[in-house]
Structure formats: structure tokens, C-alpha cells
Amino acid sequence: MDLGISALNYINSIKNGEFTVEEFTLKSLERISQVDGKLHAFLRVNDLAIKNAREIDTKIKSNQNVGKCYGMPVSIKDNICIEGSKTTCASKVLENFIAPYTSTVINKLNSEDAIIIGKTNLDEFAMGLSTEFSAYGPSRNPWNADYVPGGSSGGSGVSVSANECIASLGSDTGGSIRNPASFCSVVGLKPTYGLVSRYGLISYANSIEQIGPMTKTVEDSAFLLNIISGIDSNDNTTVDNKNQDYLNNIDAGINGKKIGIVTEMTNPDGLSTDVLDATNDAIKTFEKLGANCEQISLEMVRYAVAAYYTITSTEAGSNLARYDNIRYGYEFDSSGFEFNSYISQARSKFGPEVIRRMILGGFVPSAGHAGKYFSKALKVKSKLTAEIKHVFEKFDYLISPTVPIQPFKFGEKINDPVSFMMVDFNTVTANLTGIPAISVPYKITNGLPIGIQIMANHEEEHSLLQAAYALEKTVDLPEVPA
């Protein structure tokens, strides 16, 4: 049994009776117990997975209606709520938090008979890009365990890359799906803002974050997007997916399409030469596929990281204010405490990066400083959105390396906050402007992955996935080391 098969191949194998859901789930759990002590993709594994698998097998055997997922094991980033189970956001503050309701994306997966195999590790409250800020210890890159897997959805990326499950759901606020997808050599899609419901996603920066799939193939991302996208009455920011089938004509190709190569994203400070070489190679590949590639400049990209951290810190300061130990937080008796000191005591459980972003989030929109920071950041966001709108009048896609560098060693960047922020340089634009973007595994250099990012206009996921599929079909990458 090949645990590395794609979702679509898994479904065909189940339909053909090559193995049962229970057999595959059992093998996946065995794989987790073999490798996760080292990789630490999972914070918790679902004790009911085998029971769920047997129930789906029973439905299959008795010719009942079976959901489209046919029991495929899917891991879930631990900032997405499932009723009755822990959702920790990899924080000590929520160490014992039991979600009182289930997120819309989980309800949709359950209704299609996916098996939630476990909850995956992340940087605390999704603030980070390496999982080094998880309160429960970092995840490790399956390509080389001395290197970070990216983040914040690092556990999700590792779980798919290391064949511990077939697919995962992550969340992407500034690249948190695409960055670990690039670092772990899996496909990661950040959908258009609003295409996927955020109901049940614990908020960090709600005006720009999105839930999205992380998968072994582009087709699998299209398959999962078919399931999780669409209007949700519990999330007023959702947009209609118009019942699109994102798998339909996914192999249409990109002949005659116009691609903009974002100049600012192909020569940022610190860009690795290996990543640049891979990007130039991908550009040649796109041209061979019949696309017309042209350099374009987006002036505001230079300021996007500063704008992104200003806006997200401000929203984090507001969103994390609820962890006051009265409604949420770790529990201790309130008697004997004065109001402010009680809340301060609760917040002492936050990790260092969350504390820093909350302080930033209090500072940048404050009286006397908002004009210099927050207002300017919002104006950069507006101008960048206008620039993006303008370029998509001429181009079908924009491309860049997903991340300017390859995976780095643990501790290498953690003490330099600016160099850390710059890792997000190429990914934050899609979040600030709300457009969809995908990372496609493209190359393995020095034993570590490199991903290529493709961006498209709002709600153009169908076309975006066609381009990603075309690129994916040109590469033949090695298997992840066992």
C-alpha cells in the first residue's frame, strides 16, 4: 500500500476495492507513530479515526451513499475548531480549550466522509513562519530534520510531505500555507479572501487570513477546494463559488496566457541564487508551455511586508484581547486578584512572539503613532490593491519564487526579527490584496525543496489551478526521504 498516493488515486483505489478505508487509516496511523516522534507534525491524533474508518467501510460495503472523500485521512491545523476536542493554537493559553462548536470547513469535510486524522502543529496563534514559535516544540522538515518546515502551517505541510496523511487544511495570513508548502515540497493554495468560510478558525488577522488546502498534487487542491469553498451564513465575508468545478478542464494548459514576472519579488534582499535559478528555469518552462512572460513592476510590493506586519499586529492586538482568562485562557481562581493583574497573569502564558506582536499591535494604531504606521499601512494596502487590479487587466497570472530562500536551520533567523519578516516578502501581497495564490513544488536543490508561486485575479482559482497543473506536470521530483 502506497501512503504517498494522491487523494484522487486513493479514492479510485477504495472504489476498486484495492484496500479498505480501515486498512489505509491503520497504515497512516502506523506511519504517524513511526515518524512523528522525530518530525512532530501532530499535536494530537484522533482516537476515533479507526472507528470512523469502519463506519465508512460499512457504508461502502452496503452500497449506501458515500461522501466524495471515501474516508481519506486529512489533518487539520490546530487553530480550526472541532466541537468537543482540543483546539490549542499551539499556545499554553489554550492548552485545555475544548471547542464548543465545529468550523464550517470541518462540517463540509465530515459531510463528504473525510477522516480527520489529527490536529497539526503551528507557530503559536499562527504568528511565525517556521513553527519555532509553537509552545509545544517545533515541527521538523521531512527533507532534512535539521531544517525548519516553514510555517505557520508547518505541521500540516510536514504531515502531507511525510505521507502521514493524504491532505491537510492550513490557514494563510501572510504565506502560512504557501511557505510550508514550498519548504516541504507540497502544493499549498491560499484562496481568494472570502471563498472559504473562516467560521471556526481562531482569528489572528481576520481581514486577510484564509483557510486553504495543502496537498500532494494540484488536482487534490482543486478537489478539496470544491468541497470547502462557498457561501456560509455564519461568515458574512464569504463569496459565492458559483458551483464551479475546479477540477474541470484542469489540464487545459496555458498556451497564449500572459504571465507577469514580478520584478520586486525576483530580486529581493537575501534572494538565494539557487531559488533565482529555479525561478528562471520555471519561467523558461512557462514559455515552453506557450505562455508569454514579461517583467512587470509593482511599486508597493517594496512596502508590503511593513504594511502587512502593521495591519496584522493591530488586528492581533484586538483579536487576542479575548484571552483574558474570564472567557478564554488558562483557568485559575479569580479570588484575591485585582482586574488588571488577573488578566496580566493570564497573558503571561503567551509565548514571546505573540507578546511582541500584541505590543506592536497596541503601538502602531495608537494616538500619536497611527498616522505614521497604521494609516500608511492601510494606504499601501489600498494602492497595492489598485496596482494588482491594473496588472490583471493585461496579465492572466503573476509569478515569483514562493519564498526568497530555501528552508533554513533551526535558530538561524529567530534572533533577527527583520530578516525573519523578510521571508514573507513574496507571499504577503496576495493576502493584502485578497487574490488567490498557490505554491507548486518545482525543484529539490541541495536536498531541500523550492516552490514557485503563481497568483491570479480575484476568484480566478479555476484558471490558477490550470496554470499550477501545467507547471506541475513538467517536473519529476524525488520521493521524500523515508
Partner 1 sequence: MVNEEEISEVAKLMKINLEDHSDHVKRVQKMLEYFDILDDANVESEEIIVQETDLGKLRDDKYNQYDKNLLKFLKSYQEKYVKAPKLN
Q: What is the contact surface with partner 1 in residues (CB under 8 A)?
A: 98, 100-101, 207, 233, 236-237, 299-300, 302-303, 305-307, 309-310, 317, 324, 326-327, 331, 333-335, 337-340, 342-345, 347-348, 350, 352, 355-356, 358-364, 366, 372-373, 375-383, 385, 417-418, 421
Nearest to 126 by CA among 75, 183, 180: 180
Which residues are paired to 171 by β-bridges? Answer: 211
End-to-end CA gap in the chain: 15
Q: Does residue 59 have an active-site annotation?
A: no
Q: Nearest distance from residue 98's CB to partner 1, in Å?
A: 7
Q: Residue 101: helix, strand or coil by DSSP?
A: coil
Q: Nearest distance from residue 99's CB to partner 1, in Å?
A: 9
Catalytic pick among 176, 197, 203, 229: 176
Which are the contacts of 281, defined by CB distance < 8 A and separation ≥ 6? 442, 443
SS (H, E, C) 240-283: CCCCCCCCCCCCCCCCCCEEEEEHHHHCCCCCCHHHHHHHHHHH
8 A C-beta contact, residue 478 and residue 443:
no
Q: How far apart are CA 254 and CA 233, in angstroms?
A: 36
Between 109 and 364, whose beta carbon lies closer to partner 1? 364
Q: Does residue 111 have an active-site annotation?
A: no
Catalytic pick among 152, 156, 171, 182: 152
Q: Nearest distance from residue 354's CB to partner 1, in Å?
A: 10
Between 102 and 474, whose beta carbon lies closer to partner 1? 102
**Residue that is written with C-alpha cell 500572459 in the block:** 258
Which residues are paired to 400 by β-bridges? Answer: 453
Nearest to 357 by CA among 133, 148, 169: 133
Catalytic pick among 6, 75, 77, 85: 77
Residue 165, Cα to own-chain centre: how many angstroms? 16
Q: Does residue 318 have an active-site annotation?
A: no
Residues forming the active site: 77, 152, 176
